Amino acid sequence: MKRVTCKVVSVEPILDDIFNIELKPESPQTFIAGQYLQMVMAEDDKRPFSIASSPEQTDLIELHIGAPETNSYARQVIEKLQHSGEVEIELPFGKAGYRVDSALPLLLMVGGTGFAYAKSIVEHIIDTEQDRKIYLYWGGRNMGGLYLNELAYQWQELDRVHFVPVLEHAVPQWTGKRGLVHEAVLEDFEDMSGLEVYIAGRFEMAALAREAFTARGLPAEQLHGDAYEFI
């Protein structure tokens, strides 16, 4: 882990309360796809965010931060980024990064801005021209939660990803899967023993998925998520 000063290049809203952040580090940084950084607010206040960019994109670091008005923890970070020309970060962190020692099909299951985690992994695989089967299940409370679904559909059109969006609270005309995202995975996979599974989202989602997926044959060593360091 090291501390790096970054220029704040852009803080752009994707939706009203989800922001795309671009930081330019003072020197190129190395990390594993799927790792995260910590934004240094103070010496005793460092806040984690998944890196959304591929490790091959060495000039910029991309973040996705959900910051509704009710979330002061994230909102304070956005305000700092909006009013500071430079910020300090620490990286890399996380043991749930992409494994190069497996050739199994990947199943990425994410909720909300956990998509940043999946994006880093998918773009790394594309950038390095790896031939991996990738399933992406992305859950959101509503369509706003799937804030970059156009990008996921582009990956699908390029035959790089099988994308399955899942909405908890769907409008009546929604024709896709409904409910909890891990339940959508269970609908499609009777046997999960032959998958490498990566998860990013709420701790509750990760806990439910671990119990359900291991019951479907998924070995513990093939399940990855930073949440499992804490639950």
Please report the pLDDT score of residue 16 as a whole number: 86
Contacts of 198 (CB under 8 A, 6+ apart): 34, 96, 98, 106, 107, 108, 109, 117, 118, 121, 224, 225
Nearest C-alpha neighbor of 110 from the set 73, 77, 152: 152
DSSP state of 148: T
Residue written as tokens 């996979």? Answer: 189
pLDDT per residue of the chain (231 residues) written in tens, 0 to 9:
899 999 999 999 998 899 999 999 999 999 999 999 999 999 999 999 999 999 999 899 999 999 999 999 999 999 999 999 999 999 999 999 999 999 999 999 999 999 999 999 999 999 999 999 999 999 999 999 999 999 999 999 999 999 999 999 999 999 999 999 999 999 999 999 999 999 999 999 999 999 999 999 999 999 999 999 998
According to CATH, where is 3.40.50.80 located in the chain?
Answer: 106-229
- Asked if residues 200 and 120 have their Cβ atoms less than 8 Å apart, the reply is no
- Kindly state the tokens that stand for 217: 């044959």
**Degrees, nearest 5: CA angle 52-108-189:** 170
Nearest C-alpha neighbor of 49 from the set 64, 27, 71, 70: 64
Alpha-carbon gap, residue 47 to 88, rounded angstroms:
11
- Asked if residues 201 and 177 have their Cβ atoms less than 8 Å apart, the reply is no
**ω into residue 92 within 30 of 0, thus cis?**
yes
Alpha-carbon gap, residue 122 to 120, rounded angstroms:
6
Please report the pLDDT score of residue 20 as a whole number: 98
Contacts of 142 (CB under 8 A, 6+ apart): 167, 168, 169, 170, 171
Please report the pLDDT score of residue 135 as a whole number: 98
Please report the pLDDT score of residue 30 as a whole number: 96
Please report the pLDDT score of residue 113 as a whole number: 97
- Asked if residues 68 and 135 have their Cβ atoms less than 8 Å apart, the reply is no
Instruction: Report the topology of domain 2-93.
Output: Elongation Factor Tu (Ef-tu); domain 3 (2.40.30)
| Rg, C-alpha atoms of the chain | 17
> What CATH number should be reported for the domain whose range is 106-229?
3.40.50.80
DSSP state of 129: T
DSSP state of 169: S
